[in-house]
Amino acid sequence: MLRAMSAQLVGQFDPAMTAYMTETAELYRGVFATTHAATVLVDGTSRAGIEAALVSLVEPGQRVLVPVFGRFGLLLTEIAARVGAEVHVIERPWGEVFDVEEIADAVRRVRPHLVAVVHGDTSTTLAQPLEGLADVCHEHDALLYTDATASLGGNPFRTDDWGLDAVSAGLQKCLAGPSGTAPVTLSDRAVAVLDRRRSIEAGLRDASSRVVAHPIRSNYLDLAMILDYWGPARLNHHTEATTALYGARECARILLEEGVDAAVRRHRLHGGAMAAGLVGLDLHLFGDQRHRMSNVVGVEIPDGVDGDAVRGRLLTDFAIEIGTSFGPLHGRIWRVGTMGYNARRDTVLTTLAALEHALRAEGVAVPPGGGVDAALEAYGVAA
Protein backbone atom coordinates (compact mmCIF):
# COMPACT_ATOMS: atom_id res chain seq x y z
CA MET A 1 0.00 0.00 0.00
CA LEU A 2 2.84 2.40 0.84
CA ARG A 3 4.55 1.52 -2.43
CA ALA A 4 1.33 2.29 -4.28
CA MET A 5 1.15 5.68 -2.58
CA SER A 6 4.66 6.51 -3.80
CA ALA A 7 3.63 6.17 -7.47
CA GLN A 8 3.97 9.13 -9.84
CA LEU A 9 1.17 11.70 -9.63
CA VAL A 10 -1.03 12.30 -12.67
CA GLY A 11 -3.56 15.02 -13.43
CA GLN A 12 -7.09 14.63 -12.18
CA PHE A 13 -8.56 14.33 -15.68
CA ASP A 14 -5.74 12.33 -17.19
CA PRO A 15 -7.31 9.22 -18.76
CA ALA A 16 -5.20 7.07 -16.47
CA MET A 17 -6.52 8.90 -13.41
CA THR A 18 -10.17 8.70 -14.39
CA ALA A 19 -9.63 5.02 -15.13
CA TYR A 20 -8.19 4.57 -11.61
CA MET A 21 -11.26 6.29 -10.19
CA THR A 22 -13.58 3.99 -12.11
CA GLU A 23 -11.59 0.93 -11.08
CA THR A 24 -11.48 2.02 -7.43
CA ALA A 25 -15.24 2.51 -7.35
CA GLU A 26 -15.72 -1.04 -8.63
CA LEU A 27 -13.29 -2.42 -6.04
CA TYR A 28 -15.22 -0.75 -3.23
CA ARG A 29 -18.45 -2.24 -4.49
CA GLY A 30 -16.81 -5.55 -3.67
CA VAL A 31 -15.68 -4.32 -0.26
CA PHE A 32 -19.18 -3.05 0.61
CA ALA A 33 -20.85 -6.12 -0.92
CA THR A 34 -23.05 -3.97 -3.10
CA THR A 35 -24.00 -3.30 -6.70
CA HIS A 36 -24.67 0.39 -5.99
CA ALA A 37 -23.47 2.46 -8.93
CA ALA A 38 -23.01 5.42 -6.56
CA THR A 39 -19.87 4.19 -4.82
CA VAL A 40 -17.14 6.80 -4.45
CA LEU A 41 -14.37 8.12 -2.22
CA VAL A 42 -14.75 11.29 -0.18
CA ASP A 43 -11.38 12.98 0.29
CA GLY A 44 -11.17 13.33 4.05
CA THR A 45 -11.09 11.16 7.14
CA SER A 46 -13.98 8.85 7.99
CA ARG A 47 -15.73 11.75 9.72
CA ALA A 48 -15.85 13.54 6.36
CA GLY A 49 -17.76 10.57 4.98
CA ILE A 50 -20.23 10.76 7.87
CA GLU A 51 -20.75 14.49 7.40
CA ALA A 52 -21.08 14.11 3.63
CA ALA A 53 -23.83 11.52 4.06
CA LEU A 54 -25.79 13.49 6.63
CA VAL A 55 -25.46 16.97 5.14
CA SER A 56 -26.34 15.64 1.68
CA LEU A 57 -29.26 13.40 2.62
CA VAL A 58 -30.91 15.50 5.34
CA GLU A 59 -32.53 18.89 4.93
CA PRO A 60 -32.99 21.27 7.87
CA GLY A 61 -36.09 20.37 9.86
CA GLN A 62 -36.28 16.74 8.72
CA ARG A 63 -36.41 14.08 11.41
CA VAL A 64 -33.38 11.90 12.06
CA LEU A 65 -33.46 8.95 14.46
CA VAL A 66 -30.16 7.92 16.08
CA PRO A 67 -29.86 4.78 18.23
CA VAL A 68 -26.98 5.58 20.62
CA PHE A 69 -24.96 2.87 22.37
CA GLY A 70 -21.56 4.58 22.53
CA ARG A 71 -19.51 7.64 21.67
CA PHE A 72 -19.94 7.47 17.92
CA GLY A 73 -23.72 7.37 18.11
CA LEU A 74 -23.41 10.64 20.00
CA LEU A 75 -21.24 11.91 17.16
CA LEU A 76 -24.03 11.13 14.68
CA THR A 77 -26.50 13.07 16.83
CA GLU A 78 -24.18 16.08 16.93
CA ILE A 79 -23.56 16.12 13.19
CA ALA A 80 -27.27 15.67 12.44
CA ALA A 81 -28.10 18.55 14.78
CA ARG A 82 -25.52 20.78 13.08
CA VAL A 83 -27.12 19.90 9.74
CA GLY A 84 -30.34 21.32 11.18
CA ALA A 85 -32.23 18.07 11.61
CA GLU A 86 -34.87 17.44 14.22
CA VAL A 87 -32.91 14.75 16.05
CA HIS A 88 -34.59 11.95 18.00
CA VAL A 89 -32.43 9.68 20.15
CA ILE A 90 -32.94 6.30 21.74
CA GLU A 91 -30.22 4.97 24.05
CA ARG A 92 -28.80 1.81 25.52
CA PRO A 93 -26.17 1.73 28.28
CA TRP A 94 -22.61 1.59 27.00
CA GLY A 95 -21.79 -2.11 26.86
CA GLU A 96 -25.13 -3.13 25.35
CA VAL A 97 -26.67 -2.99 21.88
CA PHE A 98 -30.25 -2.68 20.67
CA ASP A 99 -32.58 -5.44 19.73
CA VAL A 100 -33.52 -4.56 16.15
CA GLU A 101 -37.18 -4.49 17.15
CA GLU A 102 -36.42 -1.67 19.64
CA ILE A 103 -35.15 0.47 16.78
CA ALA A 104 -38.08 -0.61 14.60
CA ASP A 105 -40.54 0.53 17.28
CA ALA A 106 -38.81 3.92 17.39
CA VAL A 107 -39.03 4.20 13.60
CA ARG A 108 -42.78 3.57 13.76
CA ARG A 109 -43.16 6.17 16.51
CA VAL A 110 -40.86 8.92 15.18
CA ARG A 111 -41.41 8.43 11.42
CA PRO A 112 -37.95 9.81 10.58
CA HIS A 113 -36.65 10.82 7.19
CA LEU A 114 -33.41 8.98 8.01
CA VAL A 115 -32.15 6.51 10.60
CA ALA A 116 -28.45 6.92 11.38
CA VAL A 117 -26.79 4.03 13.18
CA VAL A 118 -23.22 3.03 13.93
CA HIS A 119 -22.43 -0.56 13.03
CA GLY A 120 -19.33 -1.13 15.16
CA ASP A 121 -18.81 1.46 17.90
CA THR A 122 -15.17 1.18 18.96
CA SER A 123 -15.79 3.14 22.15
CA THR A 124 -17.65 0.11 23.51
CA THR A 125 -16.17 -2.52 21.13
CA LEU A 126 -19.66 -3.78 20.25
CA ALA A 127 -21.41 -4.23 16.90
CA GLN A 128 -25.07 -3.38 16.41
CA PRO A 129 -27.10 -6.03 14.52
CA LEU A 130 -28.62 -4.51 11.37
CA GLU A 131 -30.36 -7.37 9.60
CA GLY A 132 -34.07 -6.69 9.20
CA LEU A 133 -33.89 -3.01 10.12
CA ALA A 134 -34.13 -1.75 6.54
CA ASP A 135 -37.51 -3.43 6.08
CA VAL A 136 -39.22 -1.27 8.68
CA CYS A 137 -37.27 1.84 7.61
CA HIS A 138 -38.41 1.46 4.01
CA GLU A 139 -41.95 0.58 5.07
CA HIS A 140 -42.10 4.05 6.65
CA ASP A 141 -40.18 5.83 3.86
CA ALA A 142 -37.03 6.29 5.95
CA LEU A 143 -33.50 6.04 4.62
CA LEU A 144 -31.07 3.84 6.57
CA TYR A 145 -27.54 5.23 6.93
CA THR A 146 -24.75 3.27 8.63
CA ASP A 147 -21.30 4.30 9.81
CA ALA A 148 -19.10 1.25 9.17
CA THR A 149 -15.76 2.95 9.82
CA ALA A 150 -14.54 0.52 12.46
CA SER A 151 -16.15 -2.68 11.23
CA LEU A 152 -15.88 -2.86 7.44
CA GLY A 153 -13.52 -5.58 6.24
CA GLY A 154 -13.22 -7.39 9.56
CA ASN A 155 -16.82 -8.14 10.50
CA PRO A 156 -19.74 -9.44 8.43
CA PHE A 157 -21.17 -6.52 6.46
CA ARG A 158 -23.63 -6.90 3.57
CA THR A 159 -24.85 -3.58 2.17
CA ASP A 160 -27.29 -5.00 -0.37
CA ASP A 161 -28.45 -8.00 1.65
CA TRP A 162 -29.23 -5.72 4.60
CA GLY A 163 -30.91 -3.07 2.44
CA LEU A 164 -28.66 -0.22 3.55
CA ASP A 165 -29.22 3.07 1.74
CA ALA A 166 -26.00 4.84 2.64
CA VAL A 167 -22.77 3.60 4.18
CA SER A 168 -19.56 5.44 4.93
CA ALA A 169 -16.28 4.06 6.21
CA GLY A 170 -12.57 4.80 6.58
CA LEU A 171 -9.34 3.04 5.78
CA GLN A 172 -7.55 3.06 9.12
CA LYS A 173 -9.22 0.07 10.79
CA CYS A 174 -9.71 -3.33 9.14
CA LEU A 175 -8.77 -2.01 5.69
CA ALA A 176 -5.24 -1.42 7.04
CA GLY A 177 -4.67 1.93 5.35
CA PRO A 178 -4.01 5.52 6.39
CA SER A 179 -6.78 7.80 7.56
CA GLY A 180 -7.72 10.48 5.08
CA THR A 181 -10.09 8.68 2.69
CA ALA A 182 -13.75 7.84 3.28
CA PRO A 183 -15.39 5.28 0.98
CA VAL A 184 -19.13 5.89 0.59
CA THR A 185 -21.85 3.89 -1.14
CA LEU A 186 -25.42 5.01 -1.84
CA SER A 187 -28.56 3.16 -2.91
CA ASP A 188 -30.85 4.35 -5.67
CA ARG A 189 -33.22 5.61 -2.95
CA ALA A 190 -30.45 7.76 -1.51
CA VAL A 191 -29.37 8.99 -4.94
CA ALA A 192 -32.96 10.05 -5.64
CA VAL A 193 -32.74 12.35 -2.60
CA LEU A 194 -29.48 13.79 -3.91
CA ASP A 195 -31.03 14.32 -7.33
CA ARG A 196 -33.76 16.46 -5.78
CA ARG A 197 -31.15 18.56 -3.97
CA ARG A 198 -28.57 18.78 -6.76
CA SER A 199 -27.52 22.35 -7.61
CA ILE A 200 -24.64 23.10 -9.96
CA GLU A 201 -22.26 25.69 -8.55
CA ALA A 202 -22.06 29.07 -10.25
CA GLY A 203 -18.69 28.68 -11.91
CA LEU A 204 -19.74 25.50 -13.71
CA ARG A 205 -23.27 26.32 -14.81
CA ASP A 206 -24.63 26.56 -18.30
CA ALA A 207 -28.13 27.31 -19.52
CA SER A 208 -29.29 23.75 -18.83
CA SER A 209 -27.80 23.45 -15.32
CA ARG A 210 -30.06 22.64 -12.40
CA VAL A 211 -30.11 25.25 -9.62
CA VAL A 212 -32.22 25.01 -6.46
CA ALA A 213 -33.07 27.64 -3.89
CA HIS A 214 -31.84 25.62 -0.92
CA PRO A 215 -28.86 23.50 -1.99
CA ILE A 216 -26.91 21.05 0.14
CA ARG A 217 -25.31 23.18 2.83
CA SER A 218 -21.74 22.04 2.25
CA ASN A 219 -19.99 22.53 -1.04
CA TYR A 220 -17.01 20.30 -0.37
CA LEU A 221 -19.10 17.47 1.12
CA ASP A 222 -21.94 17.75 -1.41
CA LEU A 223 -22.40 14.13 -2.50
CA ALA A 224 -24.50 15.14 -5.49
CA MET A 225 -21.58 17.10 -6.91
CA ILE A 226 -19.10 14.41 -5.88
CA LEU A 227 -21.16 11.86 -7.83
CA ASP A 228 -21.06 14.16 -10.86
CA TYR A 229 -17.27 14.30 -10.48
CA TRP A 230 -16.87 10.53 -10.18
CA GLY A 231 -19.52 9.74 -12.81
CA PRO A 232 -19.46 9.95 -16.59
CA ALA A 233 -19.96 13.73 -16.58
CA ARG A 234 -16.62 14.21 -14.77
CA LEU A 235 -17.92 17.61 -13.70
CA ASN A 236 -15.11 19.36 -11.85
CA HIS A 237 -15.65 19.56 -8.10
CA HIS A 238 -12.37 19.31 -6.20
CA THR A 239 -8.97 18.04 -7.26
CA GLU A 240 -8.90 14.35 -6.42
CA ALA A 241 -6.30 13.43 -3.78
CA THR A 242 -4.22 11.30 -6.13
CA THR A 243 -1.86 9.70 -3.63
CA ALA A 244 -4.73 8.95 -1.24
CA LEU A 245 -6.68 7.34 -4.07
CA TYR A 246 -3.70 5.12 -4.89
CA GLY A 247 -3.65 3.96 -1.26
CA ALA A 248 -7.40 3.42 -1.07
CA ARG A 249 -7.34 1.45 -4.30
CA GLU A 250 -4.58 -0.81 -2.96
CA CYS A 251 -6.39 -1.37 0.36
CA ALA A 252 -9.45 -2.59 -1.50
CA ARG A 253 -7.41 -4.67 -3.94
CA ILE A 254 -5.56 -6.48 -1.15
CA LEU A 255 -8.77 -7.16 0.76
CA LEU A 256 -10.54 -8.54 -2.29
CA GLU A 257 -7.50 -10.63 -3.20
CA GLU A 258 -7.71 -12.27 0.23
CA GLY A 259 -11.50 -12.41 -0.04
CA VAL A 260 -13.81 -10.43 2.22
CA ASP A 261 -15.23 -13.55 3.86
CA ALA A 262 -11.70 -14.88 4.46
CA ALA A 263 -10.67 -11.56 6.01
CA VAL A 264 -13.70 -11.66 8.29
CA ARG A 265 -12.77 -15.20 9.37
CA ARG A 266 -9.18 -14.07 9.99
CA HIS A 267 -10.30 -11.20 12.19
CA ARG A 268 -12.70 -13.49 14.05
CA LEU A 269 -9.95 -16.07 14.67
CA HIS A 270 -7.31 -13.67 15.94
CA GLY A 271 -9.75 -11.40 17.74
CA GLY A 272 -11.15 -14.44 19.51
CA ALA A 273 -7.67 -15.58 20.51
CA MET A 274 -6.92 -12.11 21.89
CA ALA A 275 -10.12 -12.15 23.93
CA ALA A 276 -9.31 -15.63 25.26
CA GLY A 277 -5.80 -14.49 26.16
CA LEU A 278 -7.08 -11.50 28.11
CA VAL A 279 -9.37 -13.80 30.08
CA GLY A 280 -6.35 -16.06 30.61
CA LEU A 281 -4.68 -13.12 32.36
CA ASP A 282 -7.64 -13.04 34.76
CA LEU A 283 -8.94 -9.84 33.20
CA HIS A 284 -12.63 -9.18 32.66
CA LEU A 285 -13.98 -8.41 29.20
CA PHE A 286 -16.30 -5.45 28.88
CA GLY A 287 -19.75 -5.47 27.40
CA ASP A 288 -22.13 -7.99 25.88
CA GLN A 289 -19.72 -10.51 24.37
CA ARG A 290 -22.42 -11.89 22.08
CA HIS A 291 -22.00 -8.71 20.07
CA ARG A 292 -18.26 -8.09 20.39
CA MET A 293 -16.58 -6.76 17.27
CA SER A 294 -14.08 -9.20 15.80
CA ASN A 295 -11.33 -6.59 15.53
CA VAL A 296 -11.31 -4.93 18.94
CA VAL A 297 -12.03 -6.08 22.48
CA GLY A 298 -12.73 -4.04 25.60
CA VAL A 299 -11.17 -5.18 28.85
CA GLU A 300 -11.78 -3.73 32.29
CA ILE A 301 -8.78 -2.14 33.99
CA PRO A 302 -8.16 -3.94 37.30
CA ASP A 303 -9.02 -2.01 40.46
CA GLY A 304 -6.15 0.10 41.72
CA VAL A 305 -4.22 -0.07 38.44
CA ASP A 306 -3.12 3.06 36.63
CA GLY A 307 -4.38 2.26 33.15
CA ASP A 308 -2.27 4.96 31.51
CA ALA A 309 0.86 3.66 33.21
CA VAL A 310 0.28 0.20 31.73
CA ARG A 311 -0.34 1.70 28.31
CA GLY A 312 2.84 3.76 28.68
CA ARG A 313 4.93 0.69 29.55
CA LEU A 314 3.59 -1.17 26.54
CA LEU A 315 4.42 1.71 24.23
CA THR A 316 7.84 2.50 25.71
CA ASP A 317 9.12 -1.04 26.26
CA PHE A 318 7.47 -2.92 23.40
CA ALA A 319 6.28 -0.29 20.88
CA ILE A 320 2.75 -1.67 21.32
CA GLU A 321 -0.15 0.73 21.63
CA ILE A 322 -3.51 -0.12 23.15
CA GLY A 323 -6.28 2.41 23.63
CA THR A 324 -8.32 3.74 26.47
CA SER A 325 -11.92 4.75 25.79
CA PHE A 326 -14.12 7.83 26.01
CA GLY A 327 -16.71 9.43 28.24
CA PRO A 328 -17.97 7.11 30.99
CA LEU A 329 -15.48 4.41 29.95
CA HIS A 330 -12.38 6.61 29.99
CA GLY A 331 -9.96 5.12 32.50
CA ARG A 332 -12.30 2.19 33.08
CA ILE A 333 -11.42 -0.03 30.12
CA TRP A 334 -8.62 -0.64 27.66
CA ARG A 335 -9.43 -1.33 24.02
CA VAL A 336 -7.15 -3.85 22.36
CA GLY A 337 -7.30 -3.91 18.57
CA THR A 338 -6.56 -6.90 16.37
CA MET A 339 -7.24 -5.55 12.92
CA GLY A 340 -5.99 -5.20 9.40
CA TYR A 341 -2.40 -6.34 8.95
CA ASN A 342 -2.11 -6.89 12.71
CA ALA A 343 -4.87 -9.50 12.77
CA ARG A 344 -2.38 -12.34 12.92
CA ARG A 345 -1.06 -14.83 15.46
CA ASP A 346 2.36 -13.34 16.24
CA THR A 347 0.94 -9.92 17.12
CA VAL A 348 -1.69 -11.48 19.38
CA LEU A 349 0.86 -13.56 21.30
CA THR A 350 3.39 -10.74 21.53
CA THR A 351 0.77 -8.29 22.81
CA LEU A 352 -0.42 -10.71 25.47
CA ALA A 353 3.12 -11.45 26.63
CA ALA A 354 3.93 -7.74 26.77
CA LEU A 355 0.71 -6.95 28.64
CA GLU A 356 1.54 -9.63 31.22
CA HIS A 357 4.92 -7.96 31.79
CA ALA A 358 3.38 -4.50 32.08
CA LEU A 359 0.74 -5.69 34.56
CA ARG A 360 3.35 -7.39 36.72
CA ALA A 361 5.41 -4.19 36.69
CA GLU A 362 2.37 -2.38 38.08
CA GLY A 363 1.97 -4.95 40.86
CA VAL A 364 -0.84 -7.03 39.37
CA ALA A 365 -0.61 -10.75 40.06
CA VAL A 366 -1.47 -12.52 36.82
CA PRO A 367 -1.11 -16.21 35.94
CA PRO A 368 2.39 -16.81 34.50
CA GLY A 369 2.01 -17.30 30.78
CA GLY A 370 -1.75 -17.30 31.21
CA GLY A 371 -2.50 -14.99 28.31
CA VAL A 372 -0.31 -16.72 25.76
CA ASP A 373 -1.40 -20.19 26.90
CA ALA A 374 -5.11 -19.29 26.61
CA ALA A 375 -4.60 -17.76 23.17
CA LEU A 376 -2.73 -20.84 21.97
CA GLU A 377 -5.55 -22.99 23.27
CA ALA A 378 -8.01 -20.85 21.32
CA TYR A 379 -5.88 -21.44 18.23
CA GLY A 380 -6.07 -25.17 18.92
CA VAL A 381 -2.38 -25.44 19.82
CA ALA A 382 -1.21 -27.31 22.91
CA ALA A 383 0.43 -24.80 25.25
Residue 93: which pLDDT band, with cuts at 50, 70 and 90? very high
What pLDDT is attached to residue 33? 98
How high is the mean pLDDT of the chain? 96
pLDDT at position 296 over 60? yes
**pLDDT average, residue stretch 360-372:** 96
Q: How many CB atoms lie within 10 A of CB 312?
A: 12
Residue 382: which pLDDT band, with cuts at 50, 70 and 90? low
Give 7-53 as a 3 state SS string.
Answer: CCCCCCCCHHHHHHHHHHHHHHHHHHCCCCCEEEEEECCHHHHHHHH
| pLDDT tens, position by position, 186-216 | 999 999 999 999 999 988 898 888 999 889 9
| pLDDT tens, position by position, 244-263 | 999 999 999 999 999 999 99
| pLDDT tens, position by position, 231-244 | 999 999 999 999 99
Residues with Cβ < 8 Å from 99, sequence gap 6 or more?
A: none
pLDDT at position 381 over 90? no
pLDDT at position 383 over 80? no
Give the up-direction half-sphere exposure of residue 250: CA atoms within 13 A in the CB hemisphere: 16
Question: Is the pLDDT higher at 382 or at 244?
Answer: 244
Round to whole Å and give the CA distance between 333 and 72: 17
Round to whole Å and give the CA distance between 348 and 321: 13
**pLDDT average, residue stretch 152-172:** 98
**pLDDT average, residue stretch 8-21:** 94
